[in-house]
A and B are shown apart, each in its own frame.
Chain A
Amino acid sequence: MSNFNRRQFLQAAGAATACAALPRAASANTYGRVVVVGGGFGGATVAKYLRLWGGDVQVTLVEPNPTHIACILSNLVLTSALSMSRITLGYSALQTNHGVSLMQGRAIAIDPPGKRLTVQTPTGQESLDYDHLVLAPGIDFAPAPGLWDPNLTPHAWQAGEQTTRLKNQIAAMRNGDRFVMTVPKSPYRCPPGPYERACVVADYLKAKRRTGAKVIVLDANPSIQAEPEAFGRAFSDTHRGVIQYFPNAQVQSIDSASRSIVTSAGTINNATVLNYIPNQKAGAIAALLGVNSTGFVPVNPLTYATAISTIHVIGDSCAVPASDGKAVPKSGHMANSEAKVCADAILRALNGEAADQNIATSSACYSPITARTASWLSANFIYGDIYDANGKVKGKGMHRLDIGEAPGQRVNNDSYQEMFTWADSLFADSFV
């Protein structure tokens, strides 16, 4: 995605006079048009709820792929426990059940004063006029140090063809082979995801009796980033002797051809499988709005508006103001949650009303530890004062009211079964 038109965007954003020169539809026709970019958990949900709650609002969803392949549950596709069709979600229900218009294409440029989006479709460029624009493009990867070819050493951190590649490499592992994976520097998509992957790959290698096979986890962070008790136990007990965990392993260089990786905690040459999960940043079309020091787009927590009040960013691409050490996690559940706050705020704005301040957002992740057991993580946020590390109020944002992982005795088969009820409910609430 290198071909978005940054120059045109910046010109348009900078020159107020350009506004008058741009063609604009008659005001009678401009009422209540929302364009949504990206049909993942954030984009699908905001499109659905704008129509569900918005009566006559026109909503167009722009997405290049014919279906969305969810990352959620995709680690179980890696081990062949689930098929790819289980995580493949269509868009047709958004159209037939809710009247969302679909446009297949990739958003490549934004003209903020003209309120116009340019989309590259399979047949050429189209422009879409909007009153509000919602960007939900998920993540992009930071440049890899060294020679990284994701075809040889897949990330499988965006599900689909990458998932199949990694799955096939895991299936080809033999006795004594080494599965080497990296955990990106926080913040990244799905904090428990990498540790969950280590567990299910270890469990798979044991079930296949790959004697002496190892899962080596190279974590760029100083410690396990989510569910430390469940994963700590899994690494030191359930999967003891198979998983080897190294914290503070920042990647210095990678070479996909030889499957070698140099980190601040040590070097590994000739891994059997090298699952390099790179550091992450906002999707390129959202990054046009300006990013913070971690690479994500700061937003207003009441509306998800960016510095431009008619352009909103939700999901993995956005950075929500939060209390120090209590960041809002990047998850599909959270993207869905933010989408609803954003949809409500846009509908109120179209109606001349201020945003609701009595709001809450939440996240939940179920993490398989073996092919029969799972843990979970729950986090809840409400709007209000947010605090710095010393407990002093530093402003307004989404303050984390509660967080917790499954109590030890609940890391069991009941939780494993609940995982599917939750996923099906989340899939349907977002896409159906």
Chain B
Amino acid sequence: MPFPSKTISLIALSIGTVLGSTPAVAQVPPGRMLASQCAQCHGTNGQGPGFEELAGKSANDLYGDLREMKLRPVEGIMDRQARGYTDQQLRLIADYLSTVTPSGNAD
């Protein structure tokens, strides 16, 4: 699709109501940025497309799976990726992903 040569924006239309409001970052959930590092393989917010959907899974199950993959001998790439985070970070990631609404597209 061709680029518009002038800047156009969907948000430009609502600019009047936007002034003075604060950005959404004010209440950033602690694990959000860390969990976004899983999205290259599990989709934005863990909602796919990609490998297993992560959104909305139980935090304890996710944390348990991640710890298991981190500690077992390396087979697949996920066993390596799990080694890239501290346990405290894996806990934050699991907690965050458990709060995301599933995509509804799970197999």
Contacts and interface: CB of A to CB of B under 8 A. Distances in A.
B40 A337 contact: yes
B37 A337 contact: yes
A388 interface: no
Interface string B58-89: 00000000000000001111001101111001
Interface residues of A, number: 71
Contact of A402 (B3, B7, B80): B80
A340 B51 CA distance: 20
B105 interface: no
Contact of A360 (B7, B24, B75, B89): B89
Contact of A95 (B5, B10, B30, B80): B10
| Chain A binding surface, main DSSP class | mixed
Interface in B20-65: 20-26, 28, 30, 32-34, 36-37, 39-44, 48-51
A425 B9 contact: no
Contacts of B7: 60, 101-103, 128
B100 to A, nearest CB: 12
Interface residues of B, number: 50
Contact of B28 (A333, A344, A418): A344
A90 B36 contact: no
Interface in A47-96: 49, 52-58, 60, 63, 66, 90-92, 95-96
A406 B43 contact: no
Nearest to A67: B1
Contact of B37 (A91, A362, A418): A362
Contacts of B3: 63, 66, 91, 102-104
A408 B37 CA distance: 26
A351 B22 contact: yes
Contacts of A333: 40
| Shortest Cβ-Cβ A-B pairs, 9 listed | A380-B84, A425-B50, A104-B3, A55-B24, A101-B9, A378-B80, A347-B25, A402-B83, A99-B10
9 contacts: A29-B19, A57-B23, A122-B5, A350-B25, A361-B37, A382-B89, A402-B80, A403-B80, A421-B51
Given A340-B36, A403-B80, A426-B41, 7 more contacts: A53-B24, A56-B23, A66-B1, A104-B3, A360-B84, A379-B84, A425-B49
Interface of B: 1-12, 18-26, 28, 30, 32-34, 36-37, 39-44, 48-51, 74-77, 80-81, 83-86, 89, 92
